[in-house]
Amino acid sequence: MSSRGPERIVIRRGHAHLDESHGGSWKIAYADFVTAMMSFFLVMWLISVVPHKDLHAIAEYFRMPLMTAVTGGPKIDSSSSVIPAGSPSVIPNKNPLPRQQHDDGTTESDKRDTQRLEGLKSELDQLIKSDPILKQFRPQLLLDMTPDGLRIQIVDQQNRPMFDTGSAKMQPYMSAILRELAPVFNKLPNKISIAGHTDAAQYSTGEREYSNWELSADRANAARRQLIAGGMDEGKVKRVLGLGSTVSLIKDDPSAAVNRRISLVVLNKRAERRIDAQNTTAAAVLKLPELEHLAQPALAAPSD
């Protein structure tokens, strides 16, 4: 027996050497792959459930240049470039998307045009409530949306007529109303239609000489002059109409004061296109061969 006592047993454990090239980086790559696949299938699912009529709007969003989206520029349309002329970036669009048309015949552009007119209506509502001049005549100012656009009607009151009786001479406060409204119409590119209306009271001379037809047309034209004097661009006027007493606000009482009025319509683009189409049709008729000689300049008489 050894005098050194019991021997100690020492166990030496070896450390496994890990190859750094097989670390955890593959997990990151795998996670990115799974995330990409989830995103792909999510997009595919969303496209499958979105109504077909909304796919055009989604396509417009992804086709919109970053600069246009950041600066809040206008959306793309069916022109040959995905951003309108004058924008800071131009990306050619060789395959423009067709203009989407809704069931009621309107396009996306028509929808946006209607939204702009509704915004103008809200602005005019606030102006009438706050402007010291317009506020006095608030009961005589009627605003509504029509199929042709935003209509502003200025109506007579029994004790506050817009014009002298039977005349196109305008009262000073009517002139003030029109001049206050004039600058607002310059905010949109839309054209203006101006119509004059009378009540059913007849002149003593009847319809043979000066009648409600002439009176309503003269009053509408007087309103046009005051709008231009108030700062509205002359080119904004699309047409001036005299409708006499044919369109009454109160049909049961054709002599009511409110039937005497001036109607200002900020035309939507559909109405403008319809008016242009009507004029184009008329122009086509005038180009008949037997009438072409009317467009030729007169020949000077030969000198002796």
Question: pLDDT digit string (tens) for 194-208?
Answer: 999 999 998 766 667
Is 172 a residue whose pLDDT tops 80?
Answer: yes
Q: Rounded to whole angstroms, what are the CA distances from 77 to 98, 156, 287? A: 9, 44, 34
The dihedral sign for the CA sequence 192, 198, 203, 208:
positive
Beta partners for residue 192, in sequence order: 237, 266
Q: For residues 203 and 104, which has the higher predicted lDDT (pLDDT)?
A: 203
Q: What is the rounded distance in angstroms from the CA atom of residue 99 to the CA atom of residue 115?
A: 18
* Mean pLDDT of all residues in 81-107: 47
User: Which amino acid type is present at position 115?
Assistant: Q
- Please report the pLDDT score of residue 43 as a whole number: 82
Residue carrying the six token digits 């043979």: 208
Q: What is the rounded distance in angstroms from the CA atom of residue 168 to the CA atom of residue 189?
A: 29
Is 89 a residue whose pLDDT tops 70?
Answer: no
First vs last C-alpha separation in the chain: 164
Q: For residues 14 and 91, which has the higher predicted lDDT (pLDDT)?
A: 14
Beta partners for residue 262, in sequence order: 154, 196
Say whether pTM exceeds 0.85.
Answer: no
Q: What is the rounded distance in angstroms from the CA atom of residue 232 to the CA atom of residue 192?
A: 10
